């Protein structure tokens, strides 16, 4: 049974409150009845009072969760209608709807974790059961008293004492059962929260690691292998390569080969211009190359020859 900071725990009556005077058994039975009824009524009052501290958060959370869930469904529709009226053109309602759903889920998780709704239900059921037991005890006691002699015989006294004992025992049994249910639910909720937290942490760790790998892969250098198909037709079998990209501009000369290579090239888009001489005249061509991370781009060009 959960303890609320504003409600003291149910405590049994002091042992010396229950006594027996052999010279006046009728009075002793009456005092026993008073103590037993007080014990039951105290437990009933505790549960009816304590349920308020479960009912208010439970109803508040359920109301807010319902409101947020409804808003998550209605907001995109309203935004779309407003967009059609060109009032909120370009506004994306998706994140807002997701936010509402997320808050609603968090509220329901809070309710489950602290057992507001389930505790409220347990308290009401326990208090109702105790009230029924108290009414039954009173009616049984009246019946036993009506059938008893004056003063009650030892056998009748034993029966009435046993009935009081059964009532107190049943009340304490209900308290113990409710406490057991609370403890089981609390432990289960804590275990589930730890499991969910571990799952979320593992997922977050995986996302971070994946992001780091993706970032590393995205920045992994590539290479360019350019082929000038008719380089051997140029004067002196040579040409000039001008590479322009994010890191600036560079120029290299190639002789006696029709392939130019560049390693450790950052991923991205580049412009390659090839300049050469053919029969004394300058000829050139250019191409756009995209270098992928860890890959080799292999463009091929042909110089225009007159």
Confidence band for 17, pLDDT divided at 50, 70 and 90: low
pLDDT at 76 over 80: no
Cis upstream peptide for 151 (omega within 30°)? yes
Distance CA 19, CA 39 (A): 15
Contact 61, 116 (CB under 8 A): yes
pLDDT at 216 over 50: yes
Distance CA 116, CA 170 (A): 25
Contact 3, 9 (CB under 8 A): yes
Cα separation values, 260 from 67, 267, 268, Å: 66, 18, 18
pLDDT at 72 over 80: no
Question: 4-13, 35-44, 104-113: which range is least confident on average?
Answer: 4-13
Question: 36-50, 122-136, 199-213: which range is least confident on average?
Answer: 199-213
pLDDT greater at residue 262 or residue 97: 262
pLDDT greater at residue 7 or residue 9: 9
Residue 288 per-residue DSSP state: E
Give me the mean pLDDT over the 258-263 stretch: 94
Determine the 3-state secondary structure of 267 from DSSP.
coil
Question: 58-62, 178-182, 207-211, 262-266: which range is least confident on average?
Answer: 58-62
| Closest C-alpha among 261, 113, 274 to residue 189 | 113
pLDDT at 306 over 80: no
Extract the runs of DSSP E, i.e. beta strands, from the chain: 222-228, 238-245, 248-255, 259-265, 268-278, 281-291, 296-297, 300-301
Distance CA 112, CA 172 (A): 27
Determine the 3-state secondary structure of 255 from DSSP.
strand
Helices (H) and strands (E) in the chain, counts: 5, 8
Determine the 3-state secondary structure of 68 from DSSP.
helix
pLDDT at 81 over 70: no
pTM confidence score: 0.56
pLDDT at 272 over 50: yes
Q: Note the pLDDT tens digit of each residue in 109-163.
A: 777 777 788 888 888 999 999 999 999 999 999 999 999 998 899 999 999 999 9
Q: What is residue 162's predicted lDDT score, i.e. its pLDDT?
A: 95
| Helix, strand, coil abundance in the chain, percent, nearest 5 | 60, 20, 20
Q: Which two tokens stand for residue 192?
A: 């589930």
pLDDT greater at residue 120 or residue 297: 297
pLDDT at 5 over 70: no
Distance CA 54, CA 112 (A): 12
pLDDT greater at residue 242 or residue 10: 242
Confidence band for 85, pLDDT divided at 50, 70 and 90: low
pLDDT at 1 over 50: no
Q: What is residue 12's predicted lDDT score, i.e. its pLDDT?
A: 55
Output the average pLDDT for the chain: 85
Distance CA 138, CA 160 (A): 11
Question: 4-18, 60-74, 190-204, 210-224: which range is least confident on average?
Answer: 4-18
Q: What is residue 284's predicted lDDT score, i.e. its pLDDT?
A: 93
Residue 141 per-residue DSSP state: H
Determine the 3-state secondary structure of 139 from DSSP.
helix
Computed on alpha carbons and rounded to an integer, the radius of gyration of the chain in Å comes to 43
Distance CA 100, CA 104 (A): 6
pLDDT at 188 over 50: yes
Determine what percent of the chain is predicted with pLDDT higher than 70: 90
């Amino acid at each position: 049974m959960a303890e609320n900071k504003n409600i003291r725990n149910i405590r049994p009556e002091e042992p010396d409150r229950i006594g027996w005077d052999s010279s006046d058994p009728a009075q002793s039975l009456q005092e026993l009845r008073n103590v037993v009824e007080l014990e039951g009524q105290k437990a009933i009052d505790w549960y009816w009072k304590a349920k308020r501290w479960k009912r208010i958060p439970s109803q508040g959370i359920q109301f807010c969760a319902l409101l947020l869930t409804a808003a998550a469904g209605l907001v995109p529709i309203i935004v779309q209608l407003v967009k059609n009226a060109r009032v909120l053109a370009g506004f994306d309602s998706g994140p807002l709807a997701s936010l509402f759903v997320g808050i609603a889920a968090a509220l329901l998780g809070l309710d489950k974790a602290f057992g507001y709704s389930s505790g409220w239900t347990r308290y009401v059921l326990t208090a109702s059961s105790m009230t029924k037991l108290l009414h039954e005890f009173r009616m049984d006691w009246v019946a036993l008293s009506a059938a008893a002699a004056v003063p009650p015989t030892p056998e009748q006294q034993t029966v009435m004492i046993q009935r009081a004992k059964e009532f107190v025992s049943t009340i304490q049994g209900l308290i113990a059962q409710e406490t057991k249910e609370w403890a089981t639910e609390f432990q289960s909720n804590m275990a589930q929260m730890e499991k969910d937290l571990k799952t979320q942490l593992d997922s977050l760790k995986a996302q971070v690691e994946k992001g780091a790998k993706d970032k590393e892969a995205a920045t992994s250098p590539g290479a360019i292998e350019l082929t000038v198909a008719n380089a051997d037709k140029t004067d002196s079998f040579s040409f000039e390569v001008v590479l322009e990209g994010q890191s600036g501009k560079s120029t290299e000369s190639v002789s006696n080969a029709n392939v130019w290579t560049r390693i450790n090239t950052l991923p991205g888009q580049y412009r390659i211009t090839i300049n050469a001489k053919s029969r004394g005249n300058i000829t050139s061509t250019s191409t756009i190359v995209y270098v992928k991370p860890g890959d080799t781009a292999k463009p091929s060009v042909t110089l225009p020859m007159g």
